[in-house]
Amino acid sequence: MKAAKDVLEEIHLDALGELLNIGMGSAAAALSTMVKQEVLLSVPMIQVLHQGEVPTQIDDNPPKTVCGVKQSFDGDFSGDAVLLFSEDKSLSLVRAVLGESMPLEELGEMEEEAITEIGNIILNACISSLANIFNEHLHSDIPEYLQEELVDLFKAEGRDDHYVLLLRMTFNIAEQDIKGYVTFIMDIESIIKVKAQINRMMGL
């Protein structure tokens, strides 16, 4: 069976980038309401990686430890949607949401709850945009907070059929350069189904 890199051509990656950009746009609007200031997003960059390649390819200077949220989904295609921030930037994001005046020790205590809520908004927006455009029902599980080393998070665990659709995007909140990484971990079967959906949508 072909690898995901061979299955998805540039036209499919461009289409996925556009589709996910719609979801991220609505997420940015919701996040703007939370932080009571404008949230600007960079143009998304999307690529397909084998699960084990992610730690070295996620960024030019990848963080060792990441915080984020994982949300599993299933339907016509299934996988795990994961939102990641570097550990130091996650606190900056929490401070933007909860307010500059909150003491650092209290920020730390509320970090998990705040990041989970942010992840819920962003990941649900992405999953919903795919479901709406493809006219499919995708069921999402309850979001799960995570904090671990990047290498451990994307261990392939002996499986060769799991790939990552990596969406790299920068969040700018009050001129804070907060990088967020949205990833979709899917097996090759699900990626082939996504390709079929894009082909149908584009009349290919």
The domain that contains 90 carries what CATH number? 3.40.1550.10
3-state SS record for the chain = CCCHHHHCCHHHHHHHHHHHHHHHHHHHHHHHHHHCCCEEECCCEEEEEEHHHHHHHCCCCCCCEEEEEEEEEECCCCEEEEEEEEHHHHHHHHHHHHCCCCCHHHHHHHHHHHHHHHHHHHHHHHHHHHHHHHCCCCEECCCEEEEEEHHHHCCCCCCCCEEEEEEEEEEEECCEEEEEEEEEEEEHHHHHHHHHHHHHHHCC
Task: Tell me if 32 sits within 8 A of 141, measured CB to CB.
Answer: no
pLDDT for the residue numbered 175? 65
Residue 1 pLDDT grade (very low, low, confident, very high; cuts 50, 70, 90) = very low
Domain count along the chain: 1
pLDDT for the residue numbered 72? 93
Top pLDDT among 28 and 91 is at 28
pLDDT for the residue numbered 192? 87
pLDDT for the residue numbered 191? 87
Query: Is the per-residue pLDDT at 71 higher than 90?
Result: yes
Query: Is the per-residue pLDDT at 100 higher than 70?
Result: no
Averaged pLDDT for residues 22-38: 81
Top pLDDT among 46 and 87 is at 46
pLDDT for the residue numbered 50? 84
Averaged pLDDT for residues 89-116: 70
pLDDT for the residue numbered 102? 59
The mean of the pLDDT values for the chain is 80
pLDDT for the residue numbered 73? 93
Domain of residue 121, residue span: 4-202
pLDDT for the residue numbered 4? 55
- Quick one: CA dihedral 126, 84, 143, 102, positive or negative? negative
Top pLDDT among 2 and 170 is at 170
Averaged pLDDT for residues 116-133: 87
Averaged pLDDT for residues 21-42: 81
